[in-house]
Amino acid sequence: MIELLFKAVLQYQDEPSADAVGVGEEHAGAYIGSGDGIVTGERLRGRIRWSLWSANCVYPLMRSGQPVPAALHLCTMNPTGFIETHDGARIRFDGRGYGLRTPKQYRTSLTLVFGAEDARYLWLTKVLGVMEGEFDEKAGRAVWSVYVPTDR
């Protein structure tokens, strides 16, 4: 069984790769961009800061006004970042997954691993998170629902 850990609303910010979260670390794909947002949940809430690397992504084409293929399109995603919790902890995350784009919607799914040094959140380092979400290309906004196992 799984339970909702948090919902997040992430807003893309047009930032250079030098400002990316996790610069110098190994990532899969090309740097797409970074942003921030809000995390809300019973067990985890606060602010999120993230960067995204992706392969086969058409989003940069769309942002620059170039034509984008109308057919179904699959890309790989590697977001990384951190959550600053409401109670002062810092939780790192790294995700691997896919984005599936159709002319009408952009669905995303990831597996997430977490890192924490704060004792209150160490339990997150022992579980995998599963994210399902959607991305609004025009607004540059993603909505994530992140789940973790209930049998910790």
What is the distance between the alpha carbons of residues 131 and 107, in angstroms, rounded to a whole number? Answer: 11
SS3 annotation, 14-72: CCCHHHCCCCCCCCCCEEEEEEEEEEECCCCCEEEEEEEEEECCCHHHHHCCCCCCCCC
Residue 128 identity? L
Kindly report the CATH number that applies to the domain delimited by 2-149. Answer: 2.40.160.20
Domain ranges of the chain: 2-149
**Inter-residue contact 97 to 108 (CB < 8 Å):** yes
pLDDT of residue 126: 97
pLDDT of residue 22: 73
pLDDT of residue 42: 95
pLDDT of residue 152: 59
Structure tokens at 137: 């290309």
pLDDT of residue 136: 92
**Along the 152 residues of the chain, how does pLDDT read in single tens digits?**
999 999 999 999 876 666 788 755 678 788 888 999 999 999 999 999 999 998 877 777 776 777 777 777 888 999 999 999 999 999 999 999 999 988 888 899 999 999 999 999 999 999 999 999 999 988 999 999 999 999 75
pLDDT of residue 51: 94
